[in-house]
Amino acid sequence: MHEINLACIVGARPNFMKMAPLLRAFESYPNVNPVLIHTGQHYDANLSDVFFTELGMKRPDISLEVGSGKHGVQTARILERMEQTLEEGTADGQPYDRVVVVGDVNSTMAATLAAVKLGIPVAHVEAGLRSFDRTMPEEINRIVTDSLSDMLLVSESAGIENLRREGHPDDHLHLVGNVMIDTLQRLLPQARERNTLREHNLEPGQYGVVTLHRPANVDTPEVLARLLDVLVETSDRLKLVIPLHPRTKQRIEDFGLAGKLSDAPGIVVLPPLGYLDFLALTSQSLLVVTDSGGLQEESTVLGIPCLTMRPNTERPATVDEGSSTLIGSDAEKLARHIEQILSGDYPRGVVPDLWDGHAADRIAKILVNQS
């Protein structure tokens, strides 16, 4: 068996729960040598470090420490440092056989570009998703990453159709399921044993969880103010827990909206949470309001109603089969659907095919067979 050297790239929070199951799956193949490279796009302890501990993932072998910046600056820094790192090869000087990227963040796209320019083939995990909304930075990242990758590992069937339409040959496409759900299934029992609900004075099924961080919802004062108003009104009847992403916290302060939340006794504002506390909260909630892609998928598997604050989704299975409804940034529609959930009249949906906790095993097998 020949040695297979893989450069495995992570950068931002949603990457960690996707890479962790892959690293575990590679352990079954003694000839696979995964080198974990962290770009440093996310660097705060609660957006990054806590996940390595909780997901049982090894610390990065290499950290590029690029930090925050405008898209061009951040992407350029990753490109420059990643090119050098990939060129250097593994610790014992072996060249990389392949780069493995996950998701759709700036780190995903920049690492892909650096790799293919060096002639290193790229496997993209979570390939083929399309919102068809090019105002979203993640959509640009998805399009660029997929167009340059030759192993496209797809989480839901719409992804296969999108990639075929874009002209990718069938032998590059693999419907493997959802690696994020591998992590959820593994850690759900552990999450439910935690004290998280008691710590925040919450009863199972009697609160909602809210996460908002996308520019479309949080970067315009009027939009953000209207959304916060609906949340404050709802909190009279249903406690709402809001773990605040640093970007959202900053905007709320910049726009002078902090008082809205602090004056509402039914709203519990928290810092960004680790994986286990967050899963403890979502899995026992009555409803989720979010603009996160990953949380749409997790709610679908948990059967928790999910009101998605986006006009579109690159994850159509969460709407067509799962428990998510698209709300856009429409505050009235949000209020109506919260009402529907409170009255107990909301469909729970079904779990999409292959979201079964074994996606990473399928991916590892394909990677080993084709390297």
- Catalytic annotation, residues: 213
Residue among 226 and 247 whose Cβ is closer to ligand UD1: 247
Residue among 253 and 339 whose Cβ is closer to ligand UD1: 253
Alpha-carbon distance of 127 to 324, in angstroms, equals 21
List the one residue out of 51, 55, 53, 16 whose CA is nearest residue 36: 16
Pairing label, strands 239-243, 287-290: unpaired
- SS3 for 157? helix
Residue 81 CB, shortest distance to ligand UD1, in Å, is: 16
Residue among 7 and 50 whose Cβ is closer to ligand UD1: 50
296 phi/psi in degrees, rounded to 5: -60, -40
Alpha-carbon distance of 299 to 40, in angstroms, equals 28
> Most distant CA pair in the chain: distance in Å?
64
Q: HSE of 268 in the Cβ direction (CA atoms, 13 Å)?
A: 16
Residue among 62 and 286 whose Cβ is closer to ligand UD1: 62
Residue 348 CB, shortest distance to ligand UD1, in Å, is: 25
Q: Which of 14, 34, 305, 322 binds ligand UD1 (CB under 6 A)?
A: 14
Residue among 246 and 328 whose Cβ is closer to ligand UD1: 246
Question: Are 313 and 319 within 8 A, CB to CB?
Answer: yes
Q: Which of 8, 57, 105, 231 binds ligand UD1 (CB under 6 A)?
A: 105
* Residue 159 binding ligand UD1, by CB under 6 A: no
* Residue 41 binding ligand UD1, by CB under 6 A: yes
- Angle at 89 (CA atoms; ends 85, 90), nearest 5 degrees: 110
- Of the candidate spans 148-156, 242-250, 302-310, 343-351, the one that interacts with ligand UD1 by CB under 6 A turns out to be 242-250
Residue among 86 and 295 whose Cβ is closer to ligand UD1: 295
**Where are the alpha helices (H) located in 263-329, listed in sequence order?**
275-283, 293-302, 317-320
Count of CB atoms within 10 A of residue 84's CB? 11
Q: Which of 6, 13, 158, 359 binds ligand UD1 (CB under 6 A)?
A: 13
Residue 16 CB, shortest distance to ligand UD1, in Å, is: 10
Residue 50 CB, shortest distance to ligand UD1, in Å, is: 11
Q: Which of 3, 44, 87, 199 binds ligand UD1 (CB under 6 A)?
A: 44
* Residue 106 binding ligand UD1, by CB under 6 A: yes
* Residue 43 binding ligand UD1, by CB under 6 A: yes
Q: Which of 213, 310, 337, 362 binds ligand UD1 (CB under 6 A)?
A: 213
Pairing label, strands 173-175, 151-154: parallel
Residue 340 CB, shortest distance to ligand UD1, in Å, is: 27
Q: Which of residues 129-148 bind ligand UD1 (CB under 6 A)?
A: 137-138
* Per-residue DSSP letter, 47: I
**Where are the alpha helices (H) located in 203-283, listed in sequence order?**
215-218, 221-234, 246-254, 258-262, 275-283
Residue 71 CB, shortest distance to ligand UD1, in Å, is: 7
Question: Are 217 and 309 within 8 A, CB to CB?
Answer: yes
Alpha-carbon distance of 264 to 254, in angstroms, equals 19
Q: How many residues bind ligand UD1 (CB under 6 A)?
A: 17
Pairing label, strands 4-10, 32-38: parallel
Residue 212 CB, shortest distance to ligand UD1, in Å, is: 11
Q: Which structure tokens are listed for 246?
A: 């640093």
Q: Which of residues 65-104 bind ligand UD1 (CB under 6 A)?
A: 68
342 phi/psi in degrees, rounded to 5: -60, -30
Residue among 68 and 94 whose Cβ is closer to ligand UD1: 68
* Residue 12 binding ligand UD1, by CB under 6 A: yes
Residue type at 270 in one-letter notation: L
Residues that bind ligand UD1 (CB under 6 A): 12-14, 41-44, 47, 68, 105-106, 137-138, 213, 245-247
